[in-house]
Structure 1
């Protein structure tokens, strides 16, 4: 079955950061700790660059899952923050779903820990309610590559679009002429080799 191309739209998208908690993050083995942290913060930077509504949620903070990582608290000090008392699937929490629906937006850009549970369950639930769901694969982590691939396959079969943070940024931006230096600098901050492209560009324009 051919699925029509649905582009991300900065005026219809909301970012959901689910369970990036100090305890759960220690379970992530499909990315190195430094790469994973970079990817999560890069997605956060993309959300801020495009002024996307962003919602943070955690699961059972008082238990072994731990608190939200401090970098996300600092990045989004005013964002809705839903500390779920126990629901494993964030979509089972009424406050979380209400925060999403209050934005009036239908495109959900979603990332979290772990991919096969904290990401897959709400992604599938949102699809079932008619939302367009875009899971950011490199800002979501789990136990190993086998679990990762199974989770991706399950979500993809249900209609979830799988993207990485770089492609999210580019699809939202649409056209380099919208802000060459702004997006270029964001990419350079999280992709070291991208700095070479920006250096070349600045040399070209004599800056």
Structure 2
């Protein structure tokens, strides 16, 4: 597969909401979840600085709350946040329209849940003719559901990469990477990402 072109990418942040996993959900690995949130916040901040459009979804926000503060706080001014009622982003007309309005054909997906909303979104976007890339260390489902979701994507030929790989695809050169870091000294690299 070719490298991810920043000028053809749109970032889709799926359902990373305050109350999606309430505290009583004992099956949630809170450390892994928190690290995923930090990676998504970092990717979102990078997208902002590299002028990659961002579309954010919130599944049933009246029940599941809004996008977590760590991500909300770094959203680009032009980011679009929309409620989601169908699991696949493409099956929500307002979200599909926001994705189309970006003018981009490569959809970079992050968020929850890997085996349902991320998988459904990836599959529907792929079938709609988009290039779909799932950032596998910036997605989450509890326990074995995460790996099951990734295996399903693999079986359909949907691309996966890591947060680190996405960053380097977007910047492409040592000079550009160094310039990015120099221009953004306060942007802390998240856990598990070795640049």
* TM-score bracket for the superposition, by shorter chain length: 0.7 to 0.9
Please list the CA deviations of residues 139-197 of structure 1 after superposition, one character each: whole Å capped at 9, or x if unmatched. 111111x21111101112212111111110011111111241423657971157989x8
Is the strand fraction higher in 1 or 2? 2
Q: Label 1:6 to 1:34 Cα distance change in 2 as closer, same or farther (>3 A).
A: same
Contact kept in structure 1, 2:16 and 2:37, CA below 8 Å? no
Q: Secondary structure at the match of 2:86?
A: coil
CA RMSD, aligned part only? Answer: 2.5
Q: Label 1:21 to 1:192 Cα distance change in 2 as closer, same or farther (>3 A).
A: closer
Q: Distance in 1 between matches of 2:13 and 2:190?
A: 21
Contact kept in structure 2, 1:30 and 1:148, CA below 8 Å? no
TM normalised by structure 1 equals 0.81
Q: Label 1:192 to 1:31 Cα distance change in 2 as closer, same or farther (>3 A).
A: closer
Q: Distance in 1 between matches of 2:30 and 2:69?
A: 22
Tell me by how many angstroms 1:103 deviates: 1.5
Tell me what 1:29 maps to. 29
Q: Distance in 2 between matches of 1:79 and 1:194?
A: 25
| Count of residues in Structure 1 that have an aligned counterpart in Structure 2 | 189
Tell me what 2:135 maps to. 136
Question: How do 1:97-116 and structure 2 match up within 5 A?
Answer: 97-116=96-115
Contact kept in structure 2, 1:20 and 1:58, CA below 8 Å? yes
Tell me what 2:180 maps to. 182
Q: Which has the larger radius of gyration?
A: 1
Q: Distance in 1 between matches of 2:100 and 2:185?
A: 29
Question: How do 1:1-207 and structure 2 match up within 5 A?
Answer: 5-26=1-22, 28-29=28-29, 32-63=32-63, 65-76=64-75, 77-84=77-84, 86-144=85-143, 146-183=144-181, 189-191=188-190
Is the helix fraction higher in 1 or 2? 1
Please list the CA deviations of residues 81-117 of structure 1 after superposition, one character each: whole Å capped at 9, or x if unmatched. 1112x32222211010111111121100001111111
